[in-house]
Structure 1
Amino acid sequence: MKTNLQQEQLVEIVAALKQQQVIAYPTEAVFGVGCDPDSELAVTRLLELKHRPVDKGLILIAANFDQLLPYIDSSTLTEIQRDAVFSCWPGPVTFVFPALQTTPRWLTGRFDSLAVRVTDHPLVSKLCQAYGKPLVSTSANLSGLPPCRTADEVLQQFGDDFPVLRGDTGGRQNPSEIRDALTGELFRLG
């Protein structure tokens, strides 16, 4: 029964994404809000919802590395650097890669790089597979409020009609660690 309900939810959430809506979903630690990374309208809606300036850049979350290739330049990584990244994926570590020149500024902000993660959260992985591409991923919370850890908290903050993929978070207490894919430099402790 739960599998059928999750499948119905996935279909509804994918439909919302195709309509350029912002959606919420569980991640490794908290609920995230996300949208289609290729839709400037959807990303603008997300930024307005979060009161987040576009110049800060965003994170993409994906089911697998191949989904990220249209956005990042992985050719600049040595085999050792690539092994270091892949040793953490899938998992709760976000890496900052050089962005392709074709990657939209609404994703990279003021940077020539893009933060990306291959998730190990099974439900988010299924969502990215069902949608066929990565999603923008930022914490589900309104400005000044704590990140949501349940679907009910998302609905309390964003309203009863907000599209939410119901499920449990991965149980981690901290957001994903963020590292530079080229240097290994730690930007945010996980």
Structure 2
Amino acid sequence: MFLQLHPDNPNPRNVKTIVECLLDGGVIIYPTDTIYGLGCDIFNHKATQRVAAIKKVDFQKIHLSFVCADLSDLSKYTKSISTPLYRILKEHLPGPYTFILPASKEVPKLLQNKKNTIGLRVPDNKISQTLVQALGRPILSTSLPGEMVEEYTNPELMYENFKDMVDIVVDGGTGGMIPSTIVDCTTDEYEIIRQGLGEFNE
């Protein structure tokens, strides 16, 4: 299915269709404030396995992050946040960043890794925020497979390429070509793992 959502005023009926699809174990392609992502419900085991299969990556090795609605939503999925770290998160989010943080018990067991960390995002994007709020929990998210970045800016091309693998491609306009900046905040020395769109300042 190919569904359009206005970037500033997403159609509630289409939002409802997408959320019902996610709750039913569906996999979607949807816009963020950086590149388009591949997403599913964090609590649906089969959907998360499908995402790994689409990426052609072993589930244990796949880089997954939770796309959250806001900071209070994000704070459920990590252990207690210190005041200095909270200040940094507040300064950078919503924005084009993925913060690697210690996972809390709210993270489904299936998604817990050996390091017991989780990538958390709050994109500055009305569509992704609206979908997460309507779903009532984060969207499990990862980048699309392959290196064809140019093709991943055009929702119609993504639909042509992935319509047999995903349930819905959400057209929220032309996507970006630069992924999020990944910052590891699991130690006192914050480390930029990948420099992406966001300029990180401590």
- Per the normalisation by structure 1, the TM-score is 0.86
**Unaligned 5+ runs, structure 1:** none
Partner AA of 1:138 in structure 2? T
Q: Distance in 2 between matches of 1:4 and 1:78?
A: 35
Q: For 1:184, give the aligned amino acid.
A: Y
Aligned match of 1:139: 143
Deviates more, 1:157-166 or 1:79-88: 157-166
The equivalent position to 1:87 in structure 2, one of 83, 91, 109, is 91
For residues 70-126 of structure 1, give each alpha carbon's deviation from its aligned partner in whole angstroms, at most 9, with x where no partner exists.
4221x1x32112111211001011100101245234323333100001111111111
- When residues 5 and 94 of structure 1 are mapped into structure 2, their CA distance, relative to the original with a 3 A threshold, is closer
Select which of 177, 191, 197 maps to 1:185.
191
CA distance in structure 2 between the partners assigned to 1:175 and 1:144 by the alignment = 12
Structure 2 distance, partners of 1:122, 1:37, is 20
C-alpha separation between the residues in 2 aligned to 1:78 and 1:168? 37
Q: Which runs of 5+ in 2 are unaligned?
A: 197-202
Amino acid aligned to 2:39: G
TM-score, L = length of structure 2? 0.82
CA distance in 1, matches of 2:114, 2:161: 29
- 4+ residue runs of structure 1 moved beyond 3 angstroms? 1-5, 143-147
Let me know the Cα RMSD of the aligned residues. 2.4
Partner secondary structure for residue 148 of structure 1:
helix
Per the alignment, in what secondary structure is the counterpart of residue 165 of structure 1? strand
Q: 2:68 aligns with which of 48, 62, 84?
A: 62
Alpha-carbon separation, structure 2, partners of 1:26 and 1:103: 23
For 1:24, give the aligned amino acid.
I
Per the alignment, residue 25 of structure 2 pairs with: 20
Residues paired across the two proteins, number = 186
Q: Deviations over 1:116-156 (max 9, x none)?
A: 01111111111111111110111233x45446112212212
- Does 2:20 correspond to 1:8? no
What SS does the corresponding residue of 2:168 show, helix, strand or coil? coil
Partners in 2 of 1:40 and 1:97 — Cα distance? 22
Aligned twin of 1:108 = 112
